[in-house]
Amino acid sequence: MAKRIVYGILHCAASPEGLDMKAKQVAEYHMRPVSKGGRGWDRPGYAQVVELDGTAVELRTYNENDLVENHEMTWGAVGLNQVSIHICYIGGVDKKGKPKDTRTPAQKKALEMIVKGLIKRWPWLKIAGHYHFAAKACPCYDVEKWCEEIGLDEKNIYRKVKKK
């Protein structure tokens, strides 16, 4: 059963800085059989991928309602895919594979436009990083700080409550 969208989760491809990987390659990796080095999924992990030049490639389209229907769902974060849209940028690690904010100016602008467009469409949406829900560095930058920098309302910024 379809559920109402709650989160916009930001990801990185964990590709080395400057590597001109394309969205198609990310989708192919996700859907390639495990025996051939892929994830073996039946669909991509992300709805959109932002390439180095800022081109946003849509891998999954969403209809006009506020539900995440099965044909719209992507596999970006275990346990949250039914209530999330996943957006990825190419990059996220340095040449040695260490987490690093490698977003180009064009990617930053594209991500801002995407996020603001999602919030216009779904005003209650909470923007989060993959790291909020999994023990990962992804998307390899401080999502809360970035959301503040681009002027998002506090209600749209996901903040994980720290345990005391």
| pLDDT tens digits, 108-128 | 999 999 999 999 999 999 999
Angle at alpha carbon of residue 127, lines to 124 and 132, rounded to 5°: 130
Average pLDDT, rounded, for the chain: 95
Question: How many residues in total does the chain contain?
Answer: 164
Averaged pLDDT for residues 12-22: 97
According to CATH, the superfamily of the domain at 3-156 is: Peptidoglycan recognition protein-like (3.40.80.10)
Query: How confident is the model at residue 50, as a pLDDT?
Result: 99
DSSP class of residue 57 equals E
Q: Where are the domains of the chain?
A: 3-156
Tokens of 79: 């346990």
pTM of structure: 0.94
Averaged pLDDT for residues 117-146: 97
